[in-house]
Amino acid sequence: MSAIGVLTGGGDCPGLNAAIRAVVRGAVDRGYEVIGIRHGWRGLAEGDTVALDRAAVAGILPRGGTILGTTGYDPFREGTVEAVRATTRSLGLAGVVVIGGEGTLGVARRLHEELAYPVVGVPKTIDNDLAGTELTIGFDTAVHICTAAIDRLHTTAESHNRVMVVEVMGRHTGWIAAASGIAGGADVIFVPEAPTPIEDACEHILARHEQGKDFSIVVAAEGYRLTRRSGEQEELVIQEVDRYGYVRLGGIGHVIAREISAGTGFETRVTVLGHVQRGGTPTARDRFVATRLGLHAARLADEGSWGRMAAVLGDTIGDVSLEEATRERRGLSPEWIEAARIVA
């Protein structure tokens, strides 16, 4: 019996288990054995694997996180590409389904292009910034969590006549900020793709107060760089670089709050939603999207359509090349940017 591997890499998100379950079911249905690879690419470099059958994935559909574990391990960076290939051979894998974002799928693309490694991708990241797909696993849940938080902040902001700044994730793009800001009725939305000058935000908040609205909700993507009307931009606020060389953002909310407080004189508070956005049970949408993407990936693996990534294309699931998916990031479209600007 031939076998297919499955791994999750990069940051976790709700919906990964639904995707793993679908890959297993789709592959078993076609007569394959499935081998789960633990902790992303590291599991292939170190031979850390677990057999997955239908029983092993029973009950995981609504669970957040990933039963396989995940890391940002990059075999090119670690010099372990040969070990990855050796493990793949020794496990008798026909190919590997890789569930990941730009980093993990970037490794998949290189392995495929440079070494003809048999791999199929499934897009996940709460940031929703992969090209070639209209949606990535985890985004919908993150937006729900942020919108619920904004709703709660509204009532306390209103009671105290305060400005509430909510910092959400989004390293390079403002998908979560724009979607939750629009859905939550934010008054200002800061995104990296079209950075609103801080002076414009202060003016808008002052104008609201003049109209009798004594509170304001401000949503900022962590990847927003403080921008002035002069065009001058501050550096990204970086917390650290992790052991895999990954830059960790966070803190722009406090910078914005300081500026708004100084520019308006209003009492300002900050909420950094952080990893709460990635935790807990996935929404129904993330579950069915992850399931359909996982099933499509199993189909692609069965066909030997290596180098492809399952993708959400309008109302259907199709696939694109890993090259297209990782060539450049997908930022907010002009229509999204305009919506965020007009309603906020």
Residue ranges binding ligand F6P (CB under 6 A): 11, 101, 125-127, 169-171, 222, 242, 248-249, 278
Q: Shortest Cβ distance from residue 126 to ligand F6P (Å)?
A: 5
Distance CA 9, CA 42 (A): 9
What region, left, alpha or beta, does residue 23 occupy, with left being phi > 0 and alpha being psi -120 to 50 degrees? alpha
Min dist CB 161 to ligand F6P, Å, is 31
Q: What DSSP designation does 272 have?
A: E
Please tell me whether residue 256 adopts helix, strand or coil conformation: helix
Query: How far is C-alpha 217 from the geometric centre of its chain's CA atoms?
Result: 23
Q: How far is residue 89's CA from residue 103's CA, in Å, rounded to a whole number?
A: 24
Phi and psi (nearest 5°) for 291? Answer: -65, -45
- Give the dihedral of Cα atoms 71, 75, 78, 81; nearest 10 deg: 150
Residue 232 backbone dihedrals phi, psi, to 5 degrees: -65, 135
- Whole-number Cα distances in Å, 90 to 23, 49, 335, 339: 21, 12, 50, 52
Q: Among this protein's residues, is 74 annotated catalytic? A: no
Q: Which residues pair with 220 in a beta bridge?
A: 167, 190
- Which listed residue (12, 74, 127, 286) is catalytic? 127
d(CA 96, CA 9): 12
Residues with catalytic roles = 127
